[in-house]
Chains A and B, each alone.
Chain A
Amino acid sequence: MNKFKQLLGVSGVLAASLPALISGVPAAQAEDIQQLRIAVKKDRYSVDPKKFNFTTRRPAGQIVETAVKPDENFIPQGVLFETWDYKDGIYSIKLREGIKFHDGQTFDAKAAIDALKLYDQGRSDFLQIDQESFDQTGPYTFTFKSEINSSLVIENMTHRGASLFSINGERAENPIGTGPYLLDSYKPKQSISMKRNADYWGDAPKVENITYHFIADDQVRLLALQNNEVDIVAEVTPQMLLSLPKDGSVVVHESRPIRYVALLTNLHGKAPYDTLKDKRVREALAYAINREQLAQVLFNGKGVVAKGILPDWMFGLGDKHVDGFDYNTQKAEALLDEAGWPKGSDGMRSKDGKPLKLRLVAAYPNVSSVRPMPELLEQMFRGIGIDIELVQVDDSGVYDDTYLATGEADLYMEFASNNNADPTYLLYNLFHSKTPWGYQYTAPGGKLDTILDNARQAQSREEVIELVREAHREIVQTKLAAIPILMVPNFNLSRPGLNIPMFEHADWIDYGQVTQTK
């Protein structure tokens, strides 16, 4: 029997290879996968209505779908919505026809309105749709208004948290969506499994079953891949990249660079954290960073020199509106001399007996994500005579309350990215003086506030993008509220032979389309 099976297997392989042999195409072909196992760090699965909102981020994002998704430039592209229009404060929506929920219910205008109304029950109603404004204008068309007269509601619908559920069924136990997968089993903090939805309306997924394993420890995620217990590691730290085996048994997949490493500067600090109020000192810091060297040393050499904190490809921004800073220690030293910080005999600078000493806090998202970048920067700044007090904090609560909210630091190193299709999202939340994230000391205020307010109120996308360019330049070039260092890709690890359709936003990597090269 076994020999018969082997014979069948060999015949199958030969039969499958025959067309390739005849056509002269290389034999390597992609094939569908029966079972895909993915290691992620945390169990983020929750559709609990008592929670802040219906968080259906990866991995449950395969079960329910959003109205729109970000395209390759982070511009909304239709999923459940076929077309949309925004005019005179009214959104007009046309749904894609022929879509059904997993329970067979038709996804029509009434179902879409019901699904969107669920968000008003969420504790963080970030869509902020005027609930009284829904108006069904046809079986598949409806209109609504924004509560705050925003033209960016559709952009915010690209967030996985805005996925559209059927109002039928119990969401946590049996979430009913329109997605390519159905929930198979869920073991809290251990794993979640999904099986292919045979009646999916879109392109059929290539993977039959997907299981996400939640593995908190970074090294254990890597060991699980090496031990063939998972096929993909979806959350990769710089330390994991440094400890990869050299035998080719682990393959690194990368997106385009999207995550920025930058130093946010304290613009309103009280003494002794008021040194960076002088723009010349901020500029000196920007010129003292050897970005090329950092790009070669860190992140597997995959980082690129950053001119800003938003990548040029995002929203079609381009990079002509920012100039960046080259590595020029002579210019940096001249700026510090001009600012009245002469060098002493020990090579360190001081003014009226006060040493030029800056506190650099490295904390976000955690120290291990950026190490050894803070130490390397410390050396570069010492090279131009600036003494650095390095503070490394591994707790975001301590970082927020002890250093950000109090302004008791000069520089804040952050490794983050804009994962939102709303072009104003990152710049507003980080740099508007009414920032809800607690960055009051690094927000320039004044002109930038006006630009960002105008961007959020602008009624056309072109106008929004132009204002975002202006705000971005103000932040990274004119005011130097942020000193950009590197742009870094998202990484996945796998065993050889897997083809992962990488995407810059980790929530939008479509693991259902992973294939195996024969």
Chain B
Amino acid sequence: MKQFVFKRTLSGIPTLFGMTLIGFLIIGLTPGDPIEMELRRLGVSFTAEQVEALRVEYGLDKPLIQRYFIWLLDLFRLDLGTSIASGRPVLELFKEHLPITATLSVLAFVSSLALSLVLGTVTAVSQRTSVSTSLYVLTMFLVSVPSFWLALFLLAVFALGLGWFNLLQFGNAQDLILPVITLTLGNAAVMSRLVRERIIAVMSEDYIRLAITKGLSRRAILGRHVFKSILPPLITNWAISFGSLLGGSVIIENIFNLPGLGQLALQAIAERDFAILQAYLLFMGLVFFLANFAADLTNHWLMPQLKEDDHGVR
């Protein structure tokens, strides 16, 4: 186990470095000058000399690769840089915005996990019944509709129509209910399809048919054999889902007006706020890396008989 953890950690380091470099290059080569964009937004007159002076002040006059290594050195000192648009340290902004996104994502992840297991199992074990068909159609619908549409629909029905919720956020736990439901429904629908497919595949295996002919109850077969067998691919999928939820909350935060990381990143893209974008990319890379790492560890712990290659470690 220790060797596995060591190998996995070692393999992650070049991945993270590579990711930061590619991210830096993509952001740096994206069209749009942050200084000119900010000054023009302010609606004030400025000269080319003023723009150049600001570019020097923010280090934007240096070659891209040099800027990358400066950023990397600062990173080792836990300095993520300063936002051009707000003038505030990026770390401070992350501390402000991360709790909302993390809470939203964790709640949506846990609820979509539970819902997907129920939906996937019901639609798999009771195929060709009206309940199963209805649920299958429902999941197909939820997979197909864009999250912004679902969010606006829920707002129109539950806030505007029924008056159960406010559109404006006041920092209460209640503010998170509709955003969590929106994220949960879309995510659970996608996850439930995988649960369903895996259960159907395992149920057709010879050893399951043997268990059925031996007279084992359906509950026992599902609990003892099917779930144990489908867990490893599901855990890997859940890890990716969690990362996607963190990254995918951008639109939901925008519609529900939640001041989370997604909204911060969206504004940073529009303003070419490089320091925020670079930190956001690094954060998302770390999340995906850690989520996958946790999934591999869990699989290794659950099924130590699986070879390392089965976890993707080479």
Residues on A lying within 8 angstroms of B by beta carbon are: 42, 46, 48, 50-53, 55, 123-126, 156, 159, 161, 187-191, 213-217, 219-220, 223-224, 226-227, 229-230, 395-398, 400-402, 419-420, 422, 425, 428-429, 434, 436-438
A48-B36 contact, Cβ under 8 Å, with A124-B44, A159-B43: no
Distance, CA A214 to CA B45, complexed state (A) = 27
In the bound complex, residues from chain B placing their C-beta under 8 Å from that of A395 are 31-32, 270
> B305 in the interface, Cβ–Cβ < 8 Å?
no
Q: Say whether B119 faces chain A, with CB atoms less than 8 Å apart.
A: no
With A216-B266, A223-B160 given, name 9 new contacts (CB 8 A): A48-B87, A52-B42, A53-B44, A156-B45, A161-B43, A220-B152, A227-B166, A396-B37, A436-B36
* Interface-central residue, A187, A217, A401, A420, by most chain B CB under 10 Å: A217
Interface size on B (CB < 8 Å)? 46
Contact partner, A396, options B32, B44, B87, B169, Cβ 8 Å? B32
Within the assembled complex, what's the spacing in Å between the Cα atoms of A241 and B250? 26
Q: How far is the CA of A465 from the CA of B47 in the complex (A)?
A: 23
Q: Which among B46, B48, B167, B169 has the highest number of chain A CB atoms within 10 Å?
A: B167
Please report B residues at the A interface, Cβ cutoff 8 Å.
Answer: 30-33, 36-40, 42-48, 50-51, 54, 57, 82, 86-88, 96, 152, 155-156, 159-160, 163, 166-169, 171, 254-257, 259, 263, 266-267, 270, 272
Shortest A245–chain B CB gap in Å is 11
CB distance from B265 to the nearest CB of A (A): 13
Q: How far is the CA of A53 from the CA of B42 in the complex (A)?
A: 9
Given the contacts A126-B46, A217-B257, A223 and B36 also touching, CB distance less than 8 Å? no
A52 touches B38 (CB 8 A): yes
Q: Are B31 and A402 in contact (CB under 8 A)?
A: yes
List 13 A–B pairs whose Cβ atoms lie within 8 Å, in order of A's numbering: A52-B54, A123-B54, A159-B44, A161-B42, A190-B257, A220-B257, A223-B152, A223-B167, A227-B159, A395-B31, A397-B272, A419-B43, A420-B45
The closest CB in chain A to the CB of B39 belongs to A124
Choose from A42, A227, A401, A422 the contact partner of B45 (Cβ within 8 Å). A422
Assess whether B87 is in contact with A223, with CB atoms less than 8 Å apart.
no
Q: Is the CB of B44 within 8 A of A161?
A: yes
B225 to A: closest C-beta gap in Å: 48
On whether the beta carbons of A436 and B159 are closer than 8 Å, the reply is: no
B42 engages A215 (CB within 8 Å) = no
Complex CA–CA separation, A156 to B45 (angstroms): 9
Whether A227 contacts B54 by the Cβ 8 Å rule is: no
Query: What 8 pairs between A and B have smallest CB-CB spacing?
Result: A397-B32, A401-B31, A50-B87, A189-B259, A126-B44, A51-B87, A48-B87, A224-B167
- B259 and A190 contact, CB distance less than 8 A: yes
Taken together as a complex, chains A and B put the C-alpha atoms of A229 and B257 apart, in Å, by 14
Is A400 a contact of B44 with CB atoms below 8 Å? no
- Across the interface, B40 reaches (CB within 8 A) one of A51, A156, A437, namely A437
Say whether A46 contacts B31, CB under 8 Å: no
Q: In the bound complex, what is the Cα–Cα distance between A42 and B42 (angstroms)? A: 13
> How far, in Å, is A260 (CB) from chain B's closest CB?
15
Q: Which of B51, B86, B167 contacts A436 (CB 8 A)?
A: B51
The one of B45, B88, B152, B270 that contacts A429, using a Cβ cutoff of 8 Å: B45
Chain B's closest residue to A125 (CB) is B50
A55, A230, A397 interface centre (most CB from chain B within 10 Å): A397
Residues of chain B contacted by A52 (CB below 8 angstroms): 38-39, 42, 54
Give chain A nearest CB distance to B66 CB in angstroms: 21
Which residue of chain A lies nearest to B88 when distances are taken between CB atoms in the complex?
Answer: A48
Residues in B with CB closer than 8 Å to A188 are 96, 259
Q: How far is the CB of A52 from chain B (nearest CB, A)?
A: 6
A136 CA / B299 CA spacing, docked (Å): 78
> Once the chains are docked, how many angstroms separate the CA of A52 from the CA of B53?
12
Q: Please give the distance in Å from A398's CB to the nearest CB on chain B.
A: 5
Which listed residue, A124, A161, A190, A220, touches B155 by the CB 8 Å rule? A220
